[in-house]
Amino acid sequence: MSEVAVLSYGAGNLASVSFALERLGARVHLVDTAEAVAAAERLILPGVGAAGYAMARLGELGLIESIRAFTRPLLGVCLGQQLLFETSEEGGGAPLLGLIPGEVRRLQAGPGRTVPHMGWSRLEIMRDDPLLEGLGDESWAYFVHSFVCPDGPTTLARADYGDPVPAAVRMANRWGCQFHPERSSGTGARILRNFLELPA
């Protein structure tokens, strides 16, 4: 049975993420100390809400450097993906974890496009990766977000919301999903299972 630590820092939807992992047979540990992060086999950084608040909470708990130093598989979910980048326009340039280059920017509204981007979007797979193994051209995921990560060489999959939305990213041992895999039916379950099967 896979062991997975889910970061509990007051800015994540812990219950739904934990239930989704447990349905896949994982043993889930909620962690909130640097020591527990360092000892984790694999780590999920969930997140909802504001980037500045989330970073402040991580700082108050002394978790920022332990996340930066983590060398085993790390998955950021929704806001958790955004936190992997360097800065966010939110709050006038909030500093983030700095694990992936680039600035997170506010989504732009347009004809037929409200902000936040909320609902189901099809994933366009840009390159092969173990996290996305088994996904095809008709893989759909559930999004709720008002900010978007930069599109570039770390992008594994995109969604179309007028402009490309980096839906999944990777740099080294750090992956991110802008969508909610725990709410994305079979697509999300496959991604979480793939994450649990990554070599630790």
Query: pLDDT by residue for the chain (200 residues), tens digit each?
Result: 689 999 999 988 899 999 999 999 999 999 999 999 999 999 999 999 899 999 999 999 999 999 999 999 999 999 999 999 999 998 788 899 999 999 999 998 888 889 999 999 999 999 999 999 999 989 999 999 999 999 999 999 999 998 899 999 999 999 999 999 999 999 999 999 999 999 98
Rounded Cα distance between 59 and 146, Å, is 23
pLDDT given for residue 92 in this prediction? 82
Rounded-to-integer distance, Cα 91 and Cα 97, Å: 15
Q: What is the pLDDT of residue 154?
A: 98
- Catalytic residues, which ones? 78, 180, 182
What sign for the dihedral angle of Cα 184, 178, 54, 29? positive
In sequence order, the β-bridge partners of residue 190 are none
pLDDT of residue 1: 67
Topology given in CATH for the domain delimited by 3-196: Rossmann fold (3.40.50)
Q: CA-to-CA distance for 12 and 35, rounded, in angstroms?
A: 20
The per-residue pLDDT for 94 is 85
pLDDT of res. 109 = 84
- How far is 156 from 173, CA to CA, in rounded Å? 14
